[in-house]
Amino acid sequence: MAQITINNKQIDVPDGTTVLRAAEMAGIHIPRLCEHKELTPYGGCRLCIVEVQGVRVPMASCTLPVNNGMVINTETEAIKKSRKFILSMLFSERNHFCPFCQVSGGDCELQNAAYAEEMTHWPIQPGWNDFPVDTSHPYFVLDNNRCILCRRCVRACSEMAGNFTLSVAERGAKSMIVADTDIPLGESTCIKCGSCVQVCPTGALIDRTSAYQGHDEQMTEVKSVCAGCSVGCSIKIMVRDNRIVRIEGDWDGPVNHGALCEHGRYDAVTESRKRITSPMVKKNGKLEPVSWDEALNTVKEKLQALNGDKHGVAGLASTRLPAETLAAFNDLFKGKFQSDLVTSIEEGVPTAAVAKYAEGHENFEGKIDALRTADAVMCIGANLQTSHMVAGFQFKRNLTKGTRLINIDPEESGLDDLANIVIKPKAGTDLALIRGLQAIIAKEGLERSSLKIKDADKIIKNAVAETDISLEKLTQAARLLANAISPVILYGKGVTAQRDAQIVEALHQLAVQIGAEDSERNGLLSLKGESNSQTATLLGLDQPFSLNGHKVTYLAIGDDYVSKSLVERAVKSAYLVVQASYESKLTENADVLLPVTLWAEQEGHYINLDGRIRKAEKAITAPENVRDNLDVLTDLAKRMNLSLDTDWQKAIRGRKSSVALN
Ligand SMILES: Nc1nc2c(c(=O)[nH]1)N[C@H]1C(S)=C(S)[C@@H](COP(=O)(O)OP(=O)(O)OC[C@H]3O[C@@H](n4cnc5c(=O)[nH]c(N)nc54)[C@H](O)[C@@H]3O)O[C@H]1N2
Ligand SMILES: Nc1nc2c(c(=O)[nH]1)N[C@H]1C(S)=C(S)[C@@H](COP(=O)(O)OP(=O)(O)OC[C@H]3O[C@@H](n4cnc5c(=O)[nH]c(N)nc54)[C@H](O)[C@@H]3O)O[C@H]1N2
Ligand code: SF4
Ligand code: SF4
Ligand code: SF4
Ligand SMILES: [Mo]
């Protein structure tokens, strides 16, 4: 600990704390522009200068570590004067003609900093040089004329997204933010996560969809959870006039720490599917708008006519629906109707094998956080460049700092370019491969915990033969893993789609063997697909969807996308009830269509891939005549004199979880 004095206030702070952070702990705000709590301090804008007793020149507090006995002043006349001068310089370097800027009037940190110093004009004549404006990106515009070269965007791109697209070209006053080797952003390696836009303190990075749609103070901020995938990033939904204007990453999010991927940030604001706005019933081969009463009574009669036949109704629900809805759905069709086919849109592909193994090994999986400190990551059957991207960010950002990556995927994958070792085994040979790695580690004497493997040579030979990967390459991978201090094993659909709990067991054994799992941390993680896959699996909604003479099919699709293969299977059904938000090939074929809320129009709980149970909030109100997903199910049940079990917390505990729930 170090004892310091800031503005006559004494405070003890841990060694290594920066003066800026120490001041914050003491409740003292130091103005800053380039500094950001999720980014490495850079000391570029100099706005955070303070006076340190015994030091002649003002010091940038964001990069200055505390010293025991340090005496600091942040508000002396000299400091205030310097701050104004620094701001004047920043304003004069480029074009900051605020009236033309979309962030002017409340959302610009540069402008706000000037107002805080009671500045009303720029004492220095502004420069008139023209800098390039890059409009090639689908989601944002980069206007270098408004850039203050704080490099937050550059750091966000590398430290948050792990993408290293942005950098600074040229020097001094000519410096410019560029993508890759100074190519248009729209043609660059940018993965469109928008992190750079979120951190830009000025109007240099302009969000195309939300620009000029209102200032932050005119919007309601709803903290929620992204329903885009099983990572479960924390978000802030910015709403104005019942419209989602923008989605931002929540800096307090326990999984994402502010980062989002393209889907989480932009899908909701660029949605182009057509909403269903009225209940419909097929009459003479044509869907006709009807009242809710008529639609639900039609379904009720159809269901009651089944007379308890186990092949009567088949149910399928989206894994994007909240836990409350999934539990009610499960209780209605499995509990009350005793149907033999009640499942989810994912059919347990990402989760069933994991859940099966969990029956004997509850909570064997770890937390996403392990990725942030991993020095080696083995990625098997998961493409983090296209799916679960924010999970990928957590280690991609460290690949330039020594973290090593092994990518195991029979197909070309975006991760190959980033990996230290690329293994392309024959598809479906993962079990042999993992056992081979185990045997090599044992044979080389590198085990942290012995698996007591017999016949190692035979297993290794088999691995080489089955996978078609050389012994040298397998040995390289085995050594890298076994020698790591904090390894993580990540596996996805490429593995889980094989529906083989033995592969999960082998991966778990490997994790134990290399010390990825100990009392301190657990570096074994499966990617679970959609936002509520884990909930669906805990409810037992994870069998293949294969209709077998069922008379009625009830599809609670919500706002999910519908795959071709699902449509092909569903349209064969004798009678189709579709509960959905958007029109699709599936709704075209419905006999009854029930229009329902989408994720932001309803509230409810989600369990992400590492077992966090969190509530997504209602941010906007659904159009008239569109009803809540859960409401529709409860109303339907009520019409049949059934009362649904709403205790979802209890229902999900009917099965052992692969990951601790909290
Ligand atoms: N941005 C975005 N994110 C998503 C989704 C999305 O649509 N968009 N979808 C979500 C959903 S529903 C899911 S299920 C997940 C899927 O996310 P992941 O679990 O990461 O699955 P995939 O992206 O399909 O990647 C699987 C990889 O496994 C490889 N593979 C195929 N066969 C084998 C094999 O036999 N062995 C091995 N080792 N690998 C194999 C494939 O080539 C592919 O690269 O992503 C979720 N996240
Ligand atoms: N045999 C087998 N069955 C499976 C699976 C499997 O791997 N093998 N996977 C299971 C899983 S995990 C899932 S999630 C399901 C569905 O998994 P898939 O069958 O892989 O479905 P997708 O093709 O990803 O998505 C469905 C449709 O939605 C569209 N779509 C997806 N994302 C977007 C988007 O962001 N914008 C727009 N405009 N369109 C989008 C796609 O173009 C596609 O036509 O199938 C499940 N069933
Ligand atoms: S959107 Fe993401 S990947 Fe693209 S430049 Fe910005 S931070 Fe980098
Ligand atoms: S574009 Fe924005 S975030 Fe990037 S350096 Fe310029 S002002 Fe800073
Ligand atoms: S990684 Fe998944 S949860 Fe996170 S923002 Fe992207 S889609 Fe949403
Ligand atoms: Mo999925």
Same domain, 488 and 373: yes
What total of structural domains would you count in the chain? 4
* pLDDT tens digits, 126-144: 777 899 999 999 999 999 9
Q: What percent of the chain has pLDDT over 70?
A: 100
- 528 alpha carbon to ligand 6 midpoint, in Å? 7
Regarding whether 537 and 513 lie in a shared domain, the answer is no
Give the whole-angstrom CA distance, residue 500 versus residue 618. Answer: 38
pLDDT at 368 over 80: yes
Q: Is 77 exposed, middle or buried (0-12, 13-18, 19+ CB in 10 A)?
A: exposed
Amino acid (1-letter code) at residue 134: D
The interaxial angle of helices 430-443 and 471-483, nearest 10 deg, is 70
Measured from the Cα of 390, ligand 5's closest atom is 1
| Rounded CA separation 47/90 (Å) | 10
390, 495: one domain: yes
Which of 1, 53, 46 lies closest to 22, judged by CA? 1
DSSP state of 186: G
In a domain, 404, yes or no: yes
The DSSP symbol for 416 reads G
Same domain, 145 and 34: no
Summarize the confidence of residues 492-508 as an average pLDDT.
98
CATH number of the domain encompassing residue 420 = 3.40.228.10
- For the cut 90, the answer to whether the pLDDT of residue 247 exceeds it is yes
DSSP string, 577-601: EEEESB--HHHHT-SEEEEB--GGG
Least trusted range by pLDDT, from 17-26, 96-105, 242-251: 96-105
| Cα 345 to middle of ligand 2, angstroms | 9
The pocket around ligand 4, CB under 6 angstroms, is made up of 147-153, 177, 199-202, 204-205
- Shortest-distance atom of ligand 1 to CA 349: 14
Q: Is there a single domain that holds both residue 507 and residue 385?
A: yes
Instruction: Kindly state whether residues 225 and 246 are assigned to the same domain.
Output: yes
Last residue of a domain, one of 522, 543, 576: 522
Nearest bound ligand to the CA of residue 166: 3
Rounded to the nearest angstrom, the distance between the alpha carbon of 533 and the centre of ligand 1 is 14
Ligand 1: which of 393, 418, 467, 493 to mutate, judged by most atoms within 8 Å of the beta carbon?
493
Average pLDDT rounded to a whole number, residues 316-340: 97
The predicted model gives 382-398 an average pLDDT of 97
Ligand 4 atom at shortest distance from the alpha carbon of 199: 3
Place of tokens 């029930």: 594
**337, 401: one domain:** no
Verify that 429 and 500 share a domain, yes or no: yes
Q: What is the pLDDT of residues 597-623, one digit of tens each?
A: 999 999 999 999 999 999 999 999 999
Instruction: Compute the distance from residue 36 Cα to the ligand 3 centre, in Å.
Output: 17
Q: Residue 46: what residue type?
A: R
Give the residue-averaged pLDDT of 103-121.
94
Parent domain of 465 = 367-522
Question: Is there a domain that residue 11 lies in?
Answer: yes
Q: Does any ligand 5 atom lie closer than 6 A to the CB of residue 388?
A: yes
φ/ψ of 222, rounded to 5, equals: -110, 115
Are 371 and 471 within one domain? yes
Ligand 5 contact, 260 CB (< 6 A): yes
Q: Is residue 461 part of a domain?
A: yes
CA of 302 to the centre of ligand 4 (A): 60
Q: Are residues 157 and 216 in the same domain?
A: yes
Question: Which residue CA neighbors atom 3 of ligand 3 most closely?
Answer: 190
Q: Clarify whether residues 376 and 508 are in a common domain.
A: yes
String of DSSP letters for 56-78: SS-EETTS-B--TT-EEESS-HH
